[in-house]
Structure 1
């Protein structure tokens, strides 16, 4: 992609969790990527970031070099072609500003600006910018709610309301709720939801980040309970009082240590207790009540017809659906990267506005230096050039030649389909036959949802689809729902939804007449999280769903993210091929290339050097057990074994295929499939790596090279 035009080229770089970069050119998002898509670590980095690169250890945390390089390379720019590079985070960016600026290989370092604001509270402002400027609105109220924003004199940001009056950046702050960071448990809607999520045991094991989407999914299985009868939050206007929540925590004995126990309330038995389900129901109900209340208050104070939502809480699609259905606003917009990944977008928008209408925004010495240079160069800047987003596919396009070369290296059989019509017809046939499909097309989406470019697709019409997906591909909890992608023109036929939902951020009821026709996407409460597919925005995906409807009479497909549980959505063809090999998807489509599930003769696994295999016999049962132990961590994996499995695994040295090794295992015909699944499980857990052809796949490691740093000039 070679960019044209003389307008501002601004790179927004966010340095907190969910870090990444966004390149804005002429007021339009040109490239957007989250660091996690490139490092393959969820939320962008592992929990040992302080020493990830020796050159920077002790100076500051992890800098998203991969995202910065990706944006520049995709756009065909050098780092010195930028007019502004705008950085921010929640913690250390200002203190480390000079250190960071000194190692960024840009000739004019005054182009590197750190956003802290007049009162060092800009996190929510950037959330608001990321949503309003991306929206189609010329004016709107904006409600920002997350766990914790910047810390200022009044405490940390938690809930903030704005009124944006035009697309030149004129705005006013309507309210801001800040809370004391020294007071634990913290106050705030986002923090309340995150704390309950941690109590339930839903968090990423590597980063300890709460997985709030699981709480939202579990809530539908709960009900109002006498144990949670008392309200947790009192409110008066915009002011919120969390004393009821604190009282419940104290009376229930859930202190700080309870947040980090190994087994949360939802993981203390084979079945999730009704108490845990009711707790999820309670926190979801409290959130819904207060979010609707804040939206109504914001409407009363502003009189705006349109509402934008931002912050991590705006990913709660159940609440969003209720605000859209019951709230006073005529239209609602949620930017798809509503969590902190969207900070990079807000920073880029802020930089553009600084260049084009600086009188509206905060200034510092770096900005003043740039403005002097701007006067000399007379750049063609116009704030009105900030345009609403047309789509959210900010990643690079991988060419057919790149994909073909990858597949040749893999030595896997593949077929190249002749055109898009043959492609969509072929996939529709496979879906009609209830096969699970990996679908990789175009540039990647930004935000946490797969929206038709990096998706796993399935037929929604069978009750067996959901358990099959979980058992063979996603390996996740059964209470979590799967979502539909539906033709935009048919959405109201199937769902009680009268507006677009292009980013899968609205939940609405499935019409009663359709619930048994599409059980795989109907949640236990009769709802679904919906993506509407517009033929003008997503022509290929729309054609695929239309072809499927011709065969099935169903104008939607099940669409879940193309990733393994706990890992980021795939970015590259190699990532997609790896995920395909690690699971039991039936077919993978990389653009127009079709790859079927490979024969075991093509799979060459091997135990990683730091792992060893130990064969033991249980005293009580006499059952043979194979234990895989890691010398670099405390991780232990046990599998039930027979005597034949020991030589099987001993043969897997990376040069012996599964097909060759299983010849030594004298079992029934199903043993081959079982052994492939065991190997896939060990690979997914990091004990083994897998070679196909000349390609070797393993989980990401701590080591990172500095060759991702962009070169000056």
Structure 2
């Protein structure tokens, strides 16, 4: 659409997740999603909190628009709610477990509110002709989770660390969104998981998945009573024990576990220290309790909504083992998670909320879409794109890649638009054969540079998935960990974690024609339409969103080759 057309009355809504982790932008033009991209995919800084200037520039260019054509900017937090914790100061002051943090907590929320106002002023300066509208964070999560599903109605459960003051919300979409129940901070499952992740020596807000992986090799019994005290189930949700997980203060100067928690578990682990059995046992107890809480919340969502379908959103919903447990329990006929369930996806949800509020209609272009970012179909490489690298065109890329993979090579794949969300779904992936004996060791040691206990996920042709995994629905976004069948455990142990589960991505011809063709070609050679699929990045860096970042991944890791938009790039 041209700028002139926009001035004639098109509604242009820019959704933003900005100034916090996972900065991103989305664009709706006349209610249709033009695109979405996380800023990290373009600036190379993982979980960047910067203003998403690159993402916005790409979106406007895609739509043929200028900044002046944006009619509304939708922001993914409603900052006035940051002042609500002030009402709870008296109660926190009279409780001996919270009194020392009551005033610092209140001040920290006031500080965040001031920052919010300054950030909104910055956004207004970028879009002086646009109306600026703030959207409740959990509403943005819930709306995106539902609209991306394609369901006519569903229960929606959002579980994260903190959205203004809410940490957990339950909704019913039919098709408009109705809030059924909310749990507010300091009761926060995301806060608890992040606090213990940090205590175990990994970065909260980034490496909770590492703790989830570590849990599979630990014994939860050792710390089960402690974790049941720390995270207590209640009739309508859960609560945290401030004697173990102290009242949240929005400042890094205030720790997130108490001395009593440390005395009952272990000293804080340094990031470079050896991982010991006590760390695995603590991770296992945390994961077990998280699954119990998530099951409790899901059960309540089923009862209060009356729906047999569930949509999940929020950072804690990325706990794929807990999601698998919900599906396995049979509370719901089907469970859906959007491709970007964490905060970045609220850029889409915020834009959708503004459009729905303005028009009374749901936006289009959100359903079952994950490949929403920049593409580089016309990229041209020289025969020597970088010193030490050579490039050539492939005539039958799927068959040639399948042959190389069957021979044990580890290959990067860069094709089409960049994926939304944290999982590589075949457009920015590293692929390997699960039949190769040392593939997991090679991937961890020479390509991903990460802990040896972390598993790798499988991608499988959808119509063959049930042969390998106990999965009774599609899983296109690699968001559900399910038990592996005996066939997988026997033939493909590389994609089965120590807990007997695998985080599966299913692929259909309609969803990803090239990846489906590649899996079929691999099956012709090996008998199994299954590959290892992990993200095209190395530890500490984001998924490679641009050709240059993809070439960086090749040169800085042990990849054997990279297929970059039909160009086969290898070391000389």
| TM bracket (short chain) | 0.7 to 0.9
- Residue 149 of structure 2 aligns to a residue whose secondary structure is coil
Equivalent position of 1:79 in the other structure: 67
Distance 1:494 1:409 in 2: 40
1:88/1:114 contact within 8 Å kept: no
After TM superposition, give the deviation of residue 227 of structure 1 in Å.
Answer: 3.9
Equivalent position of 1:178 in the other structure: 184
Distance 2:74 2:242 in 1: 41
Q: 1:517 to 1:2 in 2, by over 3 A?
A: farther
- Residue 130 of structure 1 aligns to a residue whose secondary structure is helix
Equivalent position of 1:392 in the other structure: 370
- Residue 346 of structure 1 aligns to a residue whose secondary structure is helix
1:237 alignment partner, one of 235, 245, 250: 235
Equivalent position of 2:138 in the other structure: 124
1:263 alignment partner, one of 260, 263, 270: 270
1:330 alignment partner, one of 321, 328, 333: 333
1:556 alignment partner, one of 530, 534, 540: 530
2:461/2:508 contact within 8 Å kept: yes
Distance 2:202 2:240 in 1: 22
Equivalent position of 1:296 in the other structure: 299
Q: How many equivalent pairs are there?
A: 520
2:431/2:531 contact within 8 Å kept: yes
Residue deviations 1:369-423 (CA, integer Å, cap 9, x gap): xxxxxxxxxxxxxx144354232011122133x33369657684211123xxx01
Matched, 1:414 2:382: no
1:113 alignment partner, one of 114, 132, 143: 132
- Residue 44 of structure 1 aligns to a residue whose secondary structure is coil
Residue deviations 1:289-342 (CA, integer Å, cap 9, x gap): 111111111111110121110000011000011111114112211012111111
- Residue 461 of structure 1 aligns to a residue whose secondary structure is coil
2:403/2:522 contact within 8 Å kept: yes
After TM superposition, give the deviation of residue 102 of structure 1 in Å.
Answer: 4.6
Residue deviations 1:32-88 (CA, integer Å, cap 9, x gap): 11111112111114xxxxxxxxxxxxxxxx422111112112333222333322124
1:237/1:297 contact within 8 Å kept: no
Equivalent position of 1:17 in the other structure: 21
- Residue 262 of structure 2 aligns to a residue whose secondary structure is coil
1:95 alignment partner, one of 107, 113, 117: 117
What root-mean-square deviation, in Å, do the aligned CA atoms of Structure 1 and Structure 2 show?
Answer: 2.5
Equivalent position of 2:56 in the other structure: 68
Residue deviations 1:467-499 (CA, integer Å, cap 9, x gap): 011122111000110000100000001111111
After TM superposition, give the deviation of residue 103 of structure 1 in Å.
Answer: 2.6
Q: 1:390 to 1:172 in 2, by over 3 A?
A: closer
Distance 2:501 2:538 in 1: 25
2:220/2:288 contact within 8 Å kept: no
Q: 1:86 to 1:241 in 2, by over 3 A?
A: closer
Following superposition of structure 1 onto structure 2, how do residues 128-527 of structure 1 map, counting pairs within 5 Å? Answer: 128-150=142-164, 156-166=165-175, 170-180=176-186, 187-203=187-203, 209-230=205-226, 231-232=228-229, 233-243=231-241, 246=244, 250=258, 252-254=260-262, 263=270, 268-269=273-274, 272-357=275-360, 383-400=361-378, 402-404=379-381, 408=385, 412-418=389-395, 422-527=396-501
Q: 1:8 to 1:492 in 2, by over 3 A?
A: farther
Distance 2:182 2:284 in 1: 27
Q: 1:25 to 1:490 in 2, by over 3 A?
A: farther
1:32/1:446 contact within 8 Å kept: yes
2:448/2:539 contact within 8 Å kept: yes
Distance 1:325 1:244 in 2: 32
Distance 2:120 2:182 in 1: 30
Moved more, 474-483 or 384-393: 384-393
Equivalent position of 1:38 in the other structure: 42
TM-score by length of 1: 0.69
Residue deviations 1:512-531 (CA, integer Å, cap 9, x gap): 12213112111112211000
After TM superposition, give the deviation of residue 17 of structure 1 in Å.
Answer: 1.3
Residue deviations 1:141-179 (CA, integer Å, cap 9, x gap): 1111101110xxxxx21111111121xxx2221111112
1:165/1:171 contact within 8 Å kept: yes
Distance 1:10 1:511 in 2: 46
Q: 1:411 to 1:240 in 2, by over 3 A?
A: closer
- Residue 244 of structure 2 aligns to a residue whose secondary structure is helix
- Residue 543 of structure 2 aligns to a residue whose secondary structure is coil
After TM superposition, give the deviation of residue 451 of structure 1 in Å.
Answer: 0.4
2:150/2:368 contact within 8 Å kept: no
1:463/1:519 contact within 8 Å kept: no
Equivalent position of 1:574 in the other structure: 548
Structure label with greater radius of gyration: 1
Moved more, 555-564 or 25-34: 25-34
- Residue 47 of structure 2 aligns to a residue whose secondary structure is helix
- Residue 114 of structure 1 aligns to a residue whose secondary structure is strand
- Residue 309 of structure 1 aligns to a residue whose secondary structure is strand
Q: 1:2 to 1:433 in 2, by over 3 A?
A: farther
User: For structure 1, which runs of at least 5 residues remain unmatched after alignment?
Assistant: 46-61, 117-121, 151-155, 181-186, 358-382, 599-713
TM-score by length of 2: 0.86
Distance 1:348 1:475 in 2: 37
1:126/1:346 contact within 8 Å kept: yes
Distance 1:451 1:98 in 2: 34
Q: 1:525 to 1:385 in 2, by over 3 A?
A: closer
